[in-house]
A and B are shown apart, each in its own frame.
Chain A
């Protein structure tokens, strides 16, 4: 599910509520003063699920609309009739008004609406204000529902930001057992790096404002082409879209239109925006200026931590990158956006996106912009090791300065390279177990390949057998179990033998039947990266 982009079918006409008593997105939201100096937005597990629900409303697609839509007034007259109460005329009109097609809101289901309507009217009946209420100006049930949801979310977020237990919550976030750093931890560092006063209450208010109301107008215009279809088709479409998520880069790129004169300056103030490849000069009204993008980044970081929805995040980051590019913004903020996107892509193994970010980062660092060049240069080396791109590796080597070669992450990556070049698997797997930053995600990509190569070596060199434990230790397996599994998965059980409570790996036998050679050859043959030019 892509939370912020509900492609909810829409009944053809846009809701244009006439008398708006409750505006779904209030002009301002009261925000309580921060009371602690803890990390800005950690996510205590319990509230997580609640906020899920709160966000959830926008993602629940409306139920399949009845094909034979009853006349607007019908349900209104039916419902109260059951109760055998004399409804005043004004109430009947109110109910009627609620179901007028132009007043329907696609984010509020019919059931919800009916329930709410019932509640409103019975409440009025019970409290005896039925005849005193001015039903003509009364907010429609769908508006009330929306408003309630908004309120619920706001208080939710406020509870989050002011919750006194939250300070410790950051620390109790489940410790990642993996040795790799998660991209999330990374952005957390950055959150902490931001002084608390920088995150002004105002901007936070603004932010939450956006979350609760992901700009309906905007969304609807985007959904319009789809909204005309019925929701079944819609769902299929969504499903299909899902399947291709992450496959944004199509091999075919339509020829770019002629260039425009200069950079646009964006005026769009919506935080979120779907990624669409530009086919015409960018329009200022749909491009977000830098200060808005900064808020977007904060929002996305938060969402990533909470929801871990990669296809959504990737889409959003791509549109951010696009906005930065069309406005020719190249500064430290740009670096930050690319770095974060690169880390997230790395964590999710999306090498195509990662490679795009990396290419940009290289150029940005060359402009002298600050960031984490050392970290990313190290990734770059590891990446080229993975893709076995010798030419690029050569170029990287040529670009490194002596000082850079001494930086730990870069030195590590260079050592990995030389260990592999010399076939020193012993050293390679030692380095693998001690990889700085997120390099482990990259090394994971080629570690099995190198294991197969090492197996070829070991099988030929050791006779007649070795202890499985030796293989486990030499090739960086997590345990004998893991090593045995790897062997069995690749070449079957024939080469393992139990002897005196030891498991032996029959190297001579594996060598004789050349078990590993074809596997090794196959593993080195296919290094095909999506998005790689």
Chain B
């Protein structure tokens, strides 16, 4: 306990928020927890804390106000109680559970919240919120896991819905955690103090935590509201680039993925590219995560495939994307289908299946282009003229090409349908003359962007 007071005093004298936040960490060895827990009892804990805080801050230039002391006493009191539950958990006492830890920790976070709203805590102490919020999320997940594994379905509170709610209770704590985090988000967002001493500096940390939580809860769409209020308040907020890089990367990554899930690939690519460029070069896992979405984006927006060099350091990504890329490049439609099918589970899990599926268009385009190239040139009409490619191609040739790969005869009407799609999507220029059974391709750039 004395260590805490000493560090508290030091942190305050230097106004070091991160050092201060360390005094509130729950990630302590069992012995430390026990020491903290034993250093006071329920009767005297508050007065012990008050004395400690007052004496450690007495040497400060600007002494803590009476309210601030009250606020911090509350915070450490709740922290001390949370330690009790944590210790019980660590020691495996029968009366312990992560849910209790979660509840106790939530109290701690509430005390912090009150500190900012009622007791005039200063903005530099905001890292305390980070520690509180981050661990709240951890405890929430543990509590949900523990409850779900122990009792199949205890009859939790009954509501008067006509139908039972299948999801209720499964993520009870995490959902509650999302609500708490949202309060913290509002706490940061609503601060009207001048920028230098504003809680707004805490905002992206909390936002990123919220992103994580919403994604885990399978309700990524809720993040949209948050983004909206961020955009609305952007005017009087520090620019993103002024925040720590780690926060920037995480934020841009999630923003990109959100756009990705909405099929807004152009926007998504923009954000993901920023994240990619800012990402620390040794953060392999983060880079992999970014690429998982950036590569499909790129495939759709610019029709380009990742280079060998890019994938080189990421064996996992190679395994994921290489078969698909190869088949697209070679225009092997059937191989593409197989590759997609084989990795389907992985793709679906990462939510990139539906996007990659569209890569089939590129594979098909490449195949049709091959047919076009194989058609060769028209006999020159006059000597010396630039040779012209044959641009009138029987539909049958395309049918044959597509059927060849799969060893299955395709209905010519279906092939026409695929051709029509190519034309509609501007991947191929020309038209189908159905009466004559031929495709008339453009003389200048039949396959835009591919050099022919």
Contacts and interface: CB of A to CB of B under 8 A. Distances in A.
Interface stretch (A143-151, A220-228, A344-352, A391-399): A391-399
Contacts of B261: 390-391
B235 interface: no
B32 interface: no
Nearest to B426: A460
A470 interface: yes
B179 interface: no
Nearest to A421: B357
Contacts of A418: 357
Nearest to B344: A397
Contact of B158 (A263, A362, A456, A473): A263
B434 A423 contact: no
Interface string B421-444: 101110000011110000010000
Contact of A424 (B160, B263, B417): B417
Interface in B391-442: 411, 413-414, 416-421, 423-425, 431-434, 440
A390 B354 contact: yes
Given A390-B263, A458-B420, A325 B162 contact: yes
Contacts of B416: 426
A449 to B, nearest CB: 16
A279 B163 contact: no
Interface in A392-427: 393-395, 397-398, 418, 421-427
A53 interface: no
A398 B432 CA distance: 39
A398 B158 contact: no
A470 B163 contact: no
A393 B354 contact: yes
Interface string B340-364: 0000110011010110011011000
Contacts of A461: 419-421, 423-424, 431-432
Interface in A349-373: 356, 359-360, 362-363, 366
A424 B421 contact: yes
Interface in B299-346: 344-345
Contacts of B423: 457, 460-461
A424 B353 contact: no
B424 A457 contact: yes
Given A325-B162, A360-B166, A426 B434 contact: no
Interface string A308-332: 0000000000100110011010100
B451 interface: no
Interface string A281-313: 110000000000000000000000000000000
B221 interface: yes
Interface in A119-170: none
B162 A322 contact: yes
B371 interface: no
Given A390-B261, A460-B420, A466 B434 contact: yes
A457 B420 contact: yes
Interface stretch (A33-41, A187-195, A210-218, A254-262): A254-262
B414 A460 contact: no
Interface residues of B, number: 43
A199 B34 CA distance: 68
A397 B347 CA distance: 10
A470 B263 CA distance: 33
Contact of A426 (B348, B417, B432): B417
A473 to B, nearest CB: 8
A366 B358 CA distance: 32
A306 B229 CA distance: 55
B161 interface: yes
B157 A259 contact: yes
B105 to A, nearest CB: 25
How big is the A interface, by class? 35 or more
A393 B423 CA distance: 28
Interface in B150-165: 155, 157-164
Contacts of B421: 422-424, 457, 461
A422 B336 CA distance: 13
A359 B162 CA distance: 13
A399 to B, nearest CB: 9
Contacts of A259: 157-159
A257 B424 contact: no
B161 A394 contact: no
B48 interface: no
Nearest to A402: B345
Which of A325, A359, A425, A456 gathers most chain B CB within 10 Å? Answer: A325
B220 A262 contact: no
B241 interface: no
B402 to A, nearest CB: 12
Contact of A462 (B166, B218, B220, B431): B431
Which of A321, A326, A460 gathers most chain B CB within 10 Å? Answer: A460
A398 B351 CA distance: 9
B351 A462 contact: no
Given A278-B160, A325-B163, A456-B424, A474 B431 contact: no
Nearest to A417: B354
Given A259-B158, A462-B420, A463-B431, A394 B353 contact: yes
B432 A463 contact: yes
B432 A359 contact: no
B413 to A, nearest CB: 6
A257 B419 contact: no
A474 B220 contact: no
Which of A277, A356, A397 gathers most chain B CB within 10 Å? Answer: A397
Interface string A445-472: 0000000000011101111001100100
A360 B167 CA distance: 10
A321 B414 contact: no
Nearest to B352: A394
Contacts of A360: 163-164, 166
A359 B165 CA distance: 9
A257 B361 CA distance: 54
Contact of A470 (B164, B349, B434): B434
B409 to A, nearest CB: 15
Contacts of B354: 390, 393-394, 421
Nearest to A463: B431
A330 B421 CA distance: 48
Contact of A391 (B158, B220, B345): B220
A362 B357 contact: no
A360 B77 CA distance: 45
A397 B353 CA distance: 9
Interface in A220-274: 256-257, 259-263
A256 B163 contact: no
Interface in B117-164: 155, 157-164
A427 B414 contact: yes
A330 B425 CA distance: 50
A390 B424 CA distance: 23
B428 to A, nearest CB: 9
29 contacts: A260-B158, A278-B160, A278-B162, A325-B162, A326-B160, A360-B164, A363-B164, A363-B166, A366-B166, A391-B220, A393-B354, A421-B354, A422-B357, A422-B358, A422-B421, A423-B424, A424-B417, A425-B417, A426-B414, A427-B414, A427-B417, A456-B424, A457-B424, A461-B419, A461-B421, A461-B431, A462-B420, A470-B434, A474-B417
Given A394-B348, A422-B421, A462-B434, 6 more contacts: A256-B160, A275-B162, A279-B160, A421-B354, A422-B358, A461-B424
Interface of B: 155, 157-164, 166, 218, 220-221, 261, 263, 344-345, 348-349, 351, 353-354, 357-358, 360-361, 411, 413-414, 416-421, 423-425, 431-434, 440
* For the complex of A and B, 10 pairs with smallest distance between CB atoms: A363-B166, A461-B420, A426-B417, A278-B160, A463-B431, A259-B157, A461-B423, A423-B421, A259-B158, A426-B414
Interface of A: 256-257, 259-263, 275, 277-282, 318, 321-322, 325-326, 328, 330, 356, 359-360, 362-363, 366, 390-391, 393-395, 397-398, 418, 421-427, 456-458, 460-463, 466-467, 470, 473-474
